[in-house]
Structure 1
């Protein structure tokens, strides 16, 4: 477990000098802001006075604040502004006027209702890169429907494939629809910034729909239907059409084995004492193995079931067959590989607690990501940020007295 390095010893981030205004909440928009912030962008997060981002109160709380918040909002500055008021909207415009990027994940039409349409904001700041994440996108017949990540996962085709055949579709266990949308949005932001800097292009709007981000990673789902009328269904732990690749029982748990490469398959079969299968003519290609997948799974399962997981992993590792156990949070915490690659960091919260948090992905050799500041309390940076856009102490005090800022 590695402590987050001191800001004094951090190299400049790849996005140093990029100013981001984050107007979203919960996961999709803020995860994009988190990613940009980890690589050096100055992320100013606008929150509602009094309540703040609801993520502050999600899942397990420490001293009244979610430990999830400590990851999602590190490297950000919190400004508490009431965007429902005309004065709050004016403050937002002043911040956006000096920003490179605006990130928002409101329902389509919300910004327009506040007088902050893309046209209005680009008139104010022609170079602005504007990321808009929503359930169904800014256009189309569903644009006004409410949409969360779970709905995007369903519409994008993912939820139909998760779970056991014939049983209720299940979650993958995390908010994958939101984070996929955030990562697609991050790609869009970086692409638009590159275009602006290298090609002299103007700012632009990036429109990311939750279901489209999920759909984009659904592999051959639609081409198979288009070409063959085939509808892929849930397959539990197996990888349909690719064999052998499944979860197999050990004496003390489950192990995943991916023996679907031709040479890997032969090594796997020899390792489990099934030379007959390793040399069978019809099993030398994936198509033949798929035709006999039940037989292959039974052979592998019979071998794993009689052995403890540690032995299975050791033997298969020596044979260069991809295999692994199903990790829990405890397994991750105890794994030396995570620590060796700085994927477990100790981060001190602003309340003085030391929390173990995920490291930063991807890893850049010259300008690596970093944790420069811990997640802020609500409104920690209101005064400092408002001074940066020209408000005086007296003006800030008057706004605070009227409840516009906090």
Structure 2
């Protein structure tokens, strides 16, 4: 088992982060911090903990396989935030921290006497990362929000799928992950302002619906100036061709992206039809878009004569941008992912030998790392963390017995 200590590696070593929240979006912000060396102290409700501890139907010896992804490198304490004594312990921890992450329904912190104004009186430099469905203000702020709803209301779901079918959801909670990444970005900017510009702490208000909305590229300006509403376009993007998935003779599919003129010329060479690059129907980006159905059929008819291995080898030879549609089984066995450390083997006392995703992005001087896969016990670090606040072993045991921690 690795013995690296999370406060000894990465660019965020020395940063103290308090994570209050559960499931995906808020805790994933904490995961970004923990993977790059911050000390992340996760506060959970005594007895129940974060629901992610029991999430998903696939388990290993009664332990969920979500938990090691969301809890790795974190320390866990328990506190009943509905009890004034638990709230007091949380405030004392927050007073010593650089960052607080929370993803409760807006107004919850205020109800517990931990509004940003109150917390900044305790700790003026605190960066408060607030993750929610719709934000801390606005007509929808009081609504609960999940990733699926944010994806739908933002317009992101509308452009997904096929034009003749209802818009499908993604196979992951994309809205949660996007929100966490934007929240982490905001956190880092707020810390830079505090530490490099002589600023104070501030609030980062990150929402699922706005994070999804931010991914919509030119759709807003297109609608503003032309009235055009982008619609679902199936496996490709309308008028961008060839850039789609194409079949192989052995039942696979490969993405071929050759919509730039020079790239299309290389694809034409690979297809054994170099004359296509000079054909007026296909010679330019606009012309190819005008004949997208025909050109997509031509590429598909060619690719379908080759196995996946033959097709990818041919595209590789001619320098065409391509990528097979991989399952997770394909990804785990892919030598590139292995070489880059994005798929790693890890030995853990609870899970044994387990394959886990690595830490991204890769930093040359202060890379992130994985020290452990998270404590199985709720409140596993109560003695260590609350001991720093001056609580004795007897006091901690009393609070545990009374359900406060």
Would the aligned equivalents of 1:70 and 1:349 in 2 still touch at CA under 8 Å?
no
Any residues of structure 2 matched to 1:212-291 within 5 Å, and which? 212-252=210-250, 253-291=252-290
2:304 corresponding residue in structure 1? 305
1:400 corresponding residue in structure 2? 400
TM-score of the two chains, using structure 1 as the length reference: 0.96
1:54 to 28, 44, 51: 51
1:387 corresponding residue in structure 2? 387
Q: Deviations over 1:300-344 (max 9, x none)?
A: 001001111110000011111011111111101211111111111
Would the aligned equivalents of 1:247 and 1:256 in 2 still touch at CA under 8 Å?
yes
1:328 corresponding residue in structure 2? 327
Inter-partner Cα distance in structure 1 for 2:298 and 2:392: 75
Inter-partner Cα distance in structure 2 for 1:376 and 1:90: 24
Any residues of structure 2 matched to 1:108-257 within 5 Å, and which? 108-252=106-250, 253-257=252-256
CA RMSD in angstroms comes to 1.5
Inter-partner Cα distance in structure 2 for 1:269 and 1:14: 46
Inter-partner Cα distance in structure 2 for 1:8 and 1:391: 24
Is 1:24 aligned with 2:21?
A: yes
How big is the shift at 1:294? 0.9
Inter-partner Cα distance in structure 1 for 2:268 and 2:8: 49
Inter-partner Cα distance in structure 2 for 1:210 and 1:241: 30
Would the aligned equivalents of 2:99 and 2:126 in 1 still touch at CA under 8 Å?
yes
Q: 1 or 2 for the larger relative contact order (CA 8 Å, sep ≥6)?
A: 1
Inter-partner Cα distance in structure 1 for 2:387 and 2:93: 11
Inter-partner Cα distance in structure 2 for 1:89 and 1:314: 61
SS of the counterpart of 1:356? strand
1:88 corresponding residue in structure 2? 86
Inter-partner Cα distance in structure 1 for 2:178 and 2:228: 26
Q: Deviations over 1:1-38 (max 9, x none)?
A: xxx85417996310011000000110001001001111
Inter-partner Cα distance in structure 1 for 2:301 and 2:53: 48
How big is the shift at 1:156? 1.5
Inter-partner Cα distance in structure 2 for 1:373 and 1:310: 38
SS of the counterpart of 1:390? coil
How big is the shift at 1:67? 1.1
Inter-partner Cα distance in structure 1 for 2:207 and 2:239: 29
Would the aligned equivalents of 1:258 and 1:322 in 2 still touch at CA under 8 Å?
yes
2:367 corresponding residue in structure 1? 368
Would the aligned equivalents of 2:258 and 2:321 in 1 still touch at CA under 8 Å?
yes
Is 1:358 aligned with 2:346?
A: no
SS of the counterpart of 1:290? helix
How big is the shift at 1:152? 0.6
2:35 corresponding residue in structure 1? 38
Inter-partner Cα distance in structure 1 for 2:83 and 2:2: 40
Identify if the C-alpha distance between structure 1 residues 225 and 259 changes in structure 2 by more than 3 Å, giving closer, same or farther.
Answer: same
Would the aligned equivalents of 2:239 and 2:292 in 1 still touch at CA under 8 Å?
no
Provide the aligned length of Structure 1 versus Structure 2: 402
Would the aligned equivalents of 1:347 and 1:374 in 2 still touch at CA under 8 Å?
no
Inter-partner Cα distance in structure 2 for 1:308 and 1:291: 29
Identify if the C-alpha distance between structure 1 residues 68 and 343 changes in structure 2 by more than 3 Å, giving closer, same or farther.
Answer: same
Identify if the C-alpha distance between structure 1 residues 376 and 151 changes in structure 2 by more than 3 Å, giving closer, same or farther.
Answer: same
Inter-partner Cα distance in structure 1 for 2:163 and 2:363: 41
How big is the shift at 1:349? 3.3
Would the aligned equivalents of 2:6 and 2:13 in 1 still touch at CA under 8 Å?
no
SS of the counterpart of 1:206? strand
Question: Which shifted more, 360-369 or 248-257?
Answer: 248-257
Question: Which shifted more, 289-298 or 386-395?
Answer: 386-395
Question: Which shifted more, 348-357 or 331-340?
Answer: 348-357
Identify if the C-alpha distance between structure 1 residues 305 and 10 changes in structure 2 by more than 3 Å, giving closer, same or farther.
Answer: farther
TM-score of the two chains, using structure 2 as the length reference: 0.96
Inter-partner Cα distance in structure 2 for 1:221 and 1:397: 57
Would the aligned equivalents of 2:7 and 2:39 in 1 still touch at CA under 8 Å?
no
